[in-house]
Structure 1
Amino acid sequence: MHADAEHALTAFFDQLKVEVRASEHTIKSYQRDIRHLIRYCTDKAIDRWIDLKQSDIRAHIASRHRRGISSKSLQRELSAIRSFYNFLLKNRLADNNPAQYVKAPKQSRKLPKTLDVDQISGLLEAGTSSILEMRDVAMFELFYSSGLRLSEMTALNLTDIDLPDRSLIVRAGKGGKSRLLPMGGKAVDALEKWLTQRLKMTAAAEPALFVSSRGTRLGQRSVQLRLEQWCQKKGIAEHLHPHMLRHSFASHLLESSQDLRAVQELLGHSNISTTQIYTHLDFQHLAEVYDKAHPRAKKKSE
C-alpha cells in the first residue's frame, strides 16, 4: 500500500483507541479484518484507498465466502470496512464508501434438532420416584404438548391453566403477545399429579405453577439442568434442551396435519417464514421414506 494509505490506517486505529475508546478486542478484530482487505488490494495492485470500488469490496467478500468464512464473520468484516471508510470520508481522504451497500451472503438456516415419537415416549414415560421428578415430567409433557418456549413455561401461573378445559394461556409470549393453547391428555394427567404435591413445597400465596424445592418460582436455567439430569438418570444419550421438545411438537404436528397456519398460531410465530423451517424437516422425513420404499428410488449397486 502507498505510504499515505498506511498513514490513514494508523490514524484510524489511533482514533478508535483514543477518541472512541474501543476495547482492545474490537481494535484487534478491526485490524484483522482490514488486513484481509489489504491482501486483496495487494493482489489487485490497488495502493490507495480512494481507488477501491464497490465491485472490489463485493469481489473481496465473495472470495472470502468461497474460502468458507461464515456470513456472521463477513458481516463483521464489512462493518469494519464501512467504519474505516466513514473515517476516511470524515477526514476528506475518500469521496465515497464502497462498502456502504455491499451485503454479506445470507447464512443458511440450521434445521432445528428434533426427537422422533419413540424417543419422546421413552423420555416422558420413564417413571418418577420423587415429587421433583413429578414436577419435571409435568413440565416436559407441557413443553411437548403445547409447544411452549422456556421463558413461557417458567412464567406460567396457577391461574393460567384450565385443567377441565384442557387449555392454558400464555400471557406474555415473544413480543408481548398472548395466546390460548390446548393441552394434551398426557400433559393434563401429569399436571394433576404434580398439583396434588405442589403445596408440600410452597406457600399457598405463591402464584407460580412450577416451583423449586425452596418454594419459589423455578428459573429457566434450573429447568435446563433438570432435563439434563433426567436424561442422565434414564440413560438417554441424546443431549436435550427444552427447545428440542418445542421443535418436536412443531415437527410432529405439521407432519400429521400439514396445516402450517395452525402450527404458526400454536407456536406464537409472528411471521410464517419462521414456521416454514419445519416444512424442511417434514420434507426430510418424506424423502427418507421415499428413498427406502420407492422401487425406483434406490441407487444401482456398483
Structure 2
Amino acid sequence: MGSTLEGVLEGYLTALKYERRVSSHTLIAYRRDLQRWIAHCRRVGIDRWDGLDEGTIRQYVGERRREGISARTLQRELSALRSLFDYLLKHRLAEDNPARRVRPPKSLRSLPETLSVDEAGALLNEAPKSVFEIRDRAMWELFYSSGLRLGELVALDVTDLDLSEAMLRVRGGKGGKDRILPVGRLAREAIEAWLKGRASWVAMDENALFVNRRGKRMTGRGVQLRLSEWGRRLGFDRPLFPHLLRHSFASHLLEASGDLRAVQELLGHADIATTQIYTHLDFQHLAKVYDQAHPRAKRRK
C-alpha cells in the first residue's frame, strides 16, 4: 500500500471493492469525491493524508460553499473523507480523524419525486409493439413491483427469478447485502412475455435477465435512455428516470399499508430513517383515518 495521497486512495478503494463489496457506482462516487480532496491538498501543500487537519478541511468546505456547491454534495464529500480516515486509523496511517470534528452544512431535505397511481398506470398499461418494448415494459413493471435500484435491475440473472414462487433474489445490493423480494402478478406476466422473446436475441453465454439488441446485458445508461424515451412518447410533462419508479413503489406501498418497517426491508435500507422520507402521506387521508378511528374524534351520527 503506497503512502502517497494517490497510493493510499487506491488501497482504500481496493478495500471497499473486495472487503465491503460496494457497487461500481459507489466506487466511482468515492473516487471522484476523494480526488477533489487530493486536489485541495495539493493546492495547500499537503502530500500525505495525515497532514490534513481540521482547519484545512474547514477551509475546503468554505471554498466549496462560496462556489455554490450544495450542502448535500458537501455532506457526501465529508462522509467520504471520514470513511477514508477510518481506514487510515485501522491501518495506523493516521492518529486522528479530523473530518469527524467538522460538521457539514445543513440542507433542507427534499421529498422524493413520485408518480401518481394514475401516472404509473399510464406507463405500465401501454401496450408494447415490439420485442424490445416487451422487455422495457417488463423492466418498468419490475421496478414498480419490487422497488429495485437501477444497479440491482441490470445485475439480475435469469436464475435470480423464481416466477412459480413469485419472488426474486437481489444479490449484492447496496452494502453488499442480498435480499428476497416478491414479484407482483402483472410483473410476472410481463417478465414471462419478455422471456419468450429474449430467447431469440440473447448471446449463448449470457445469463442476464435483460439484454440489449446485441444480446448482451443491459447497462444502467441504456435503461435510463429507454425510460426517458417512453416518457416523451407517452406525453409525460416531466422526465422519467428509474429511481422515480422505486420512489413510487415505496410511497404507494406505504400509503396503502402504513407499515414503515416492511417498506424498509423491501427497499433494502440499512437505517429506517432513510425510509421515513416516504411518510409524506396525504393529510386528508390521515385526517379521515383519525376521524374514523380515534375515540374522541368520532363524529356523532
Bin of the TM-score, shorter chain as denominator length: 0.5 to 0.7
Paired residue type of 1:232: R
Aligned-partner Cα distance in 2 for 1:129–1:122: 16
Higher Rg of the two aligned structures:
1
Closer/same/farther in 2, CA of residues 213 and 106 from structure 1, 3 Å limit: same
Written as runs of structure 1 = structure 2, the 5 A alignment for 1:72-221 is: 101=101, 103-221=103-221
Q: Deviations over 1:172-228 (max 9, x none)?
A: 110110000000011001001101100111134310000000000000000000001
The gaps in structure 1 that reach 5 residues or longer are: 1-14, 22-29, 38-63, 79-98, 295-302
Closer/same/farther in 2, CA of residues 150 and 20 from structure 1, 3 Å limit: same
Closer/same/farther in 2, CA of residues 256 and 101 from structure 1, 3 Å limit: same
What residue is the counterpart of 2:297 in the other structure?
none
Answer whether contact 2:253 2:263 (CA < 8 A) is retained: yes
Paired residue type of 1:230: W
Answer whether contact 2:232 2:239 (CA < 8 A) is retained: no
Aligned-partner Cα distance in 1 for 2:178–2:75: 34
Paired residue type of 1:145: S
What residue is the counterpart of 1:224 in the other structure?
224
Closer/same/farther in 2, CA of residues 199 and 255 from structure 1, 3 Å limit: same
What residue is the counterpart of 1:96 in the other structure?
none
What residue is the counterpart of 1:238 in the other structure?
238
Closer/same/farther in 2, CA of residues 141 and 75 from structure 1, 3 Å limit: closer
Q: What is the deviation of 1:260?
A: 0.7
Aligned-partner Cα distance in 2 for 1:126–1:73: 37
Aligned-partner Cα distance in 2 for 1:16–1:265: 43
Q: What is the deviation of 1:240?
A: 1.1
TM-score normalised per structure 2: 0.64
Q: Deviations over 1:65-119 (max 9, x none)?
A: 9xx995358879x9xxxxxxxxxxxxxxxxxxxx994634422221110011000
Q: What is the deviation of 1:20?
A: 3.8
Aligned-partner Cα distance in 2 for 1:223–1:249: 18
Closer/same/farther in 2, CA of residues 213 and 182 from structure 1, 3 Å limit: same
Closer/same/farther in 2, CA of residues 198 and 117 from structure 1, 3 Å limit: same
TM-score normalised per structure 1: 0.64
Closer/same/farther in 2, CA of residues 111 and 166 from structure 1, 3 Å limit: same
Question: How many residues get paired?
Answer: 220
**Which SS does the other structure have where 2:196 is aligned?**
helix
What residue is the counterpart of 1:3 in the other structure?
none
Percent identity, aligned pairs only?
53
The gaps in structure 2 that reach 5 residues or longer are: 1-40, 48-55, 79-98, 292-301
Greater CA drift, 145-154 or 225-234: 225-234
Paired residue type of 2:181: L
